[in-house]
Amino acid sequence: MRNIEKYRNAFINVLDLEEDDVCEDLELGVTSEWDSIGHMALISEIEDVFDVSLDSEWITEFNSYLSGMELLKRLGVDFINE
């Protein structure tokens, strides 16, 4: 499975979203599923799936679908050349 698919699936599985609901415009707090509890569950899932660790500063920076991808890129996760 490609990294982008793993990333999308984290949102779908943890936040119980439909595939069509996961898009680049998705942001923390905009959907009822992505609340503070959903956020921590999503962080945990992403850390497990990509074998990374997000520190508290990065957790607060992760407030949208795109910002999460940027954080993972900083940690060496490749979404382009996989």
Please tell me the distance from the alpha carbon of residue 4 to that of residue 9, in angstroms, as a whole number.
Answer: 8
Which pLDDT score is estimated for 47?
97
Whether the Cβ atoms of residue 71 and residue 62 lie closer than 8 Å to each other: yes
Whether the Cβ atoms of residue 13 and residue 42 lie closer than 8 Å to each other: no
Segment 5-20 shows an average pLDDT of: 96
Query: Quick one: fold of 3-75?
Result: 1.10.1200
Please tell me the distance from the alpha carbon of residue 37 to that of residue 3, in angstroms, as a whole number.
Answer: 24
Structure confidence at residue 82 as a pLDDT band (50, 70, 90): confident
- Read off the pTM: 0.92
Report domain extents, the chain. 3-75
22: left (phi over 0), alpha (psi -120 to 50) or beta: beta
